[in-house]
Amino acid sequence: MTFATIADVEAALAASIAPDAEAIAQARARQAQLTKPPGSLGRLEEIAVFFAGWQGRARPRIGRGRVAVFAGNHGIVAHNVSAFPAAVTAQMVATFEHGGAAINALARAAGLDLKVVALDLDRPTADFTTAPAMTEAECLAALSAGAATVEAGLDLLVLGEMGIGNTTAAAALCARSLGGDGSTWVGPGTGIDDAGIARKVAVVDRAIAHHADAPMTAFETLRRVGGREIAAIAGAVLRARELRVPVLLDGFICCSAVAPLAAAAPASIAHCLAGHCSAEPGHARLLAALGLEPILQLDMRLGEASGAAVAAGVVRAALAAHDGMATFTEAGVSGAG
Ligand SMILES: Cc1cc2ncn([C@H]3O[C@H](COP(=O)(O)O)[C@@H](O)[C@H]3O)c2cc1C
Ligand SMILES: O=C(O)c1cccnc1
């Protein structure tokens, strides 16, 4: 168990871990020599340099890339905050295992392996309008389950989630970590109607009021208004940083998992890129607050790591250009004169 105590979480947040400055300098120097006008591959160049730094390689690669999808159930579904029943969480986990979900197809297309971790689906979190969603032990176990999906030698980690009701938890995490209230962060999720959105806003506002006096630490925010799959994403992000594995974040819920981390220690998500900006209205606001520029914006609003898996294809393209292009000297092309 990586996170046996709350002090372990605090230590991971406070750890000083930076990308490899020499690999960054070498990657930048190489970019300047490739047969193209400087900067003409735009963000592909920045992505290649980012991966060089975190992988510690002047010519980064994605040999071993993994998608980890975490699933959990939520007590707040009792307030009728999703367009779908909670049973869909376990049904979709079964679909992931049979290979029939969007993420199965997209992970395969991106050449990434897929790990699905179902977290106590038969024990939903507590209704966080009246109690913490999880006990300390439950939250530590979820953080550790996330950390366990990351190992040294991974070249890329793509994170995602499945959990009916979790856009409500995500909105509460954003409000508690970044400010604003229910109306700032709530959206339609799976497609709930206006009356449902009003119920979600009220649930988030009641949750924020109920937990207002609790410590504003990352752990307490994850434990009180998060969920198991959300805490697992936070644990995977912290472990990936320790192992210097670059991370692609997915949509609104996935990014909400790192909001408490970023609020406590902005550097704790320095190894993360936003794969996409989803259509859930809070996501663009959340990305702006986190200082993350999404790679893609395709009006996706699925979750399951689907948007980040599509973005992994862009990362592959960026690294292929960085590694495979000739330099001006090799190609005998004249430089800028
Ligand atoms: C069939 C199906 C597959 C999904 N895959 C991801 N989600 C997404 O929808 C859920 C969040 O929305 P809300 O808060 O409105 O419940 C999460 O499970 C998220 O991953 C799905 C939802 C459904 C119905
Ligand atoms: O932003 C997302 O990933 C998202 C939005 C709505 C529902 N499920 C996921």
DSSP state of 216: -
Task: Determine, yes or no, domain membership for 332.
Answer: no
Average pLDDT for 245-272: 99
pLDDT in tens, 311-331: 999 999 999 999 999 999 999
Asked whether residue 1 carries a pLDDT value surpassing 90, the answer given is no
Look up the domain containing 223 and give its range. 62-313
Per-residue pLDDT at 337 exceeds 90: no
What is the DSSP secondary-structure string of 26-95?
HHHHHHHHBSS-TTTTTHHHHHHHHHHHHHT-SS---SSEEEEEEE---GGGGG--SSS-THHHHHHHHH
How far lies 279's CA from each of 103, 150, 176, 201, in Å?
Answer: 18, 28, 22, 18
160 lines ligand 2 (CB under 6 A): no
Q: Say if ligand 2 is within 6 A of residue 302 CB.
A: yes
Position 25 in a domain: no
The number of folded domains in the chain is 1
pLDDT tens digits, residue range 165-212?
999 999 999 999 999 999 999 999 999 999 999 999 999 999 999 999
Whether 107 contacts 113, CB under 8 Å: yes
* pTM across the whole model: 0.99
Spatial contact of 207 and 184, defined as CB atoms under 8 Å apart: no
DSSP 3-state of 15: coil
In a domain, 71, yes or no: yes
Quick check: ipTM above 0.85?
Answer: yes
CB atoms within 10 A of CB 257: 30
Phi/psi for 89 (5° steps) reads -60, -55
Confirm whether 322 is domain-assigned.
no
Going from the Cα of 303 to the center of ligand 2, the distance in angstroms, rounded, reads 5
Task: Give a yes or no: residue 20 inside a domain.
Answer: no
Residue 73, domain CATH: 3.40.50.10210
Residue with CA at minimum distance from ligand 2 atom 9: 303
User: Catalytic residues, which ones?
Assistant: 304
Q: What is the pLDDT of residues 280-308, one digit of tens each?
A: 999 999 999 999 999 999 999 999 999 99
Query: Using a 6 Å cutoff on CB, does residue 82 contact ligand 1?
Result: yes
CA-306 nearest atom, ligand 2: 3
Mean predicted confidence (pLDDT) in 15-19: 98
Please check whether residue 7 lies inside any domain of the structure.
no
Which tens digit of pLDDT belongs to each residue from 74-110?
999 999 999 999 999 999 999 999 999 999 999 999 9
Say if 41 falls within a structural domain.
Answer: no
CA 156/CA 188 separation, integer angstroms: 31
Is the Cβ atom of 283 under 6 angstroms away from ligand 2?
A: yes
| pLDDT band, very low/low/confident/very high, at 227 (cuts 50, 70, 90) | very high
Q: Which ligand is nearest to the CA of 169?
A: 1
Inside any domain, residue 288: yes
Give the Cα separation of 231 and 238 in Å (integer). Answer: 11
Contacts by 92-96, CB closer than 8 A, 24 or more apart:
92/162, 92/304, 93/118, 93/121, 93/162, 96/69, 96/162, 96/304
Q: Which ligand is nearest to the CA of 287?
A: 2
